[in-house]
Amino acid sequence: MKENAEERAHRSIVGLIMSNHYRPGDFLLELEIASKLEMSRTPVSRALGRLVNEGFLHKIPKKGCFIPLPTPEDAEQVFSARNAAESEAAARAARLAGDEEVAALQEIVAKDMEAVQNRQKDTFSRINEEFHLGIARISRNTYLEKWIKNIFWRSNIYIFYFDSFYKSTQLDIPQKTPKQHAAIVQAIADHDPDAAARLMSEHINRTYEVLLLGR
């Protein structure tokens, strides 16, 4: 399906952030971004507003949108919230997922592994979003889905700036995410809510520990 202008602007802005064109504390100026992306201001403005609503950017009236500064306290709260919400979503998905939904998750995992092998950072970011928000949708709980989407995007501030996969140009950095995702999908396919919740919790805790605690 063809992306509309707002979606294209959203992806392009995220790409600029992933490539370190912008850093925490920087303001993202509509006019500058529209010129850089060779787009009109309207889709750029909507994309920035969406990133504010998703929790990825903050906004100051009359000054604009900026990337919030990461702090250890905020990181602990973000990943703790992700753990609680996404573990519950994974358990619900294991109870409720149909065959087509499981097949879609398995397809995401296959793309996940390919993106890591080819070091396709933008693709990997998109697939990671599809995986986590896809499980949230399968949970059949609109509140969980909304909370997870907001917390997921907030956590990306830490992932984009601290994950060695996004920071480094080396090809030999280990990336365990695809195997962890595959194990979670297998638990959902087996309709094992306890295993799905445990594996999701371990996955998110591991991400936090690697990014913020250096373990």
Domain that holds residue 120: 72-213
pTM, two decimal places: 0.80
**Domain end position, chosen among 66, 89, 115:** 66
- Asked if residue 125 and residue 207 are part of one domain, the reply reads yes
User: 150 and 84 in one domain?
Assistant: yes
Same domain, 43 and 82: no
188 and 91 within one domain:
yes
What is the domain-level CATH number for residue 57? 1.10.10.10
Same domain, 128 and 36: no
Tens-place pLDDT, residues 136-151 = 999 999 999 999 998 9
pLDDT in tens, 10-40: 989 988 887 778 888 999 999 999 999 999 9
The Cα–Cα gap between 148 and 137 comes to 10
End residue of a domain, out of 66, 84, 119: 66
Nearest by Cα to 49 from 38, 64, 35, 37: 64
Enter the tokens of residue 204: 């998110």
Domain boundary, last residue among 26, 42, 66: 66
The count of structural domains within the chain is 2
Do residues 52 and 83 share a domain?
no
Please return the burial class of 96, using the count of CB atoms within 10 Å of its CB with bins 0-12, 13-18 and 19+: middle
Query: Chain centroid to CA 122: how far?
Result: 11
Q: What is the pLDDT of residues 34-48, one digit of tens each?
A: 999 999 999 999 999
